[in-house]
Amino acid sequence: MEKSDLKVKVLGTWSSPFVMRARIALNMKSVNYEFLQERLWEGKSERLLKSNPVHKKVPVLIHGDKLICESLIIVEYIDEVWPSAPSILHSDPNERAIARFWAAYLDDKWFPSMRSIGFARGEDEKKAAIAEFEKGLVLLEKAFGNCRKGKPFFGGDQIGYLDIAFGCFLGWLRVTETTSGIKLLSEAKTPALINWAHRFCSDAAVKDVMPDTEKLAEFAKMIASKRRGEAPPKS
């Protein structure tokens, strides 16, 4: 049997930006997959612990009998197993290196700085967290200008690896804007990224997996109450 014909499953949650990456990549390649939803707020299932014993995290891509973990590694795997157009990564090694660099920056620095806004205690801490986060956005606005070369996406005419790596966080970015009361993507500081964000969310491979902001905000509230030890809402 051809590798690309084997059954594909994604173990994940609707709310995780990392899981979104895997789903967008599969959608881009028109690969049918079964979405196995985990209810992480109720604890980690046996299925998850068996599928990702090292990190015990989602997403996990299950391809036949193979298990692939770590969202960006999954995206590259998908691009390599289903090499037909559209390509997710650029063919030029230098473009690929730039995309990988920024994806690592997003995961190692930028997303944690966004989470810091949510966890900040008191106005001063919140202000500092927002300032740090906005510095990152300005860098990303500049990077977008450099990568896009006049085209609509980081990947060029179509969404690519870096669009996926970054765009998956837009839902949570909007939730952070709502809860902090501050416009983080703004016309003043990040005009190009605002337009990019609209285009990304409207993309055929993205729109069905990008969570609704209100639903995500409700979910965030639920998780926060659980963390504080309050009783979960009846639902």
Residues that bind another protein (CB under 8 A): 3, 54, 63, 66, 68-70, 73-74, 76-77, 80-81, 93-94, 96-97, 100-101, 104-105, 139
Supply the minimum distance, in Å, between the C-beta of residue 146 and another protein.
Answer: 12
Supply the minimum distance, in Å, between the C-beta of residue 19 and another protein.
Answer: 17
Could you give the CA distance from residue 192 to residue 140 in angstroms, rounded to a whole number?
10
If the CB atoms of residues 138 and 224 are measured against another protein, the closer one turns out to be 138
At residue 131, φ and ψ (nearest 5 deg) are -60, -45
Supply the minimum distance, in Å, between the C-beta of residue 17 and another protein.
Answer: 18
If the CB atoms of residues 78 and 175 are measured against another protein, the closer one turns out to be 78
| CA atoms within 13 Å, Cβ hemisphere of 138 | 8
If the CB atoms of residues 32 and 94 are measured against another protein, the closer one turns out to be 94
Tokens for 121, please give them. 């205690």
> What dihedral do alpha carbons 51, 80, 104, 205 form, nearest 10°?
-90
Tokens for 45, please give them. 């299932």
If the CB atoms of residues 82 and 200 are measured against another protein, the closer one turns out to be 82
Supply the minimum distance, in Å, between the C-beta of residue 230 and another protein.
Answer: 31
- Number of CB atoms found within 10 A of residue 140's CB: 23
If the CB atoms of residues 97 and 192 are measured against another protein, the closer one turns out to be 97
At residue 9, what is the residue type?
K
At residue 64, φ and ψ (nearest 5 deg) are 65, -120
Supply the minimum distance, in Å, between the C-beta of residue 198 and another protein.
Answer: 26
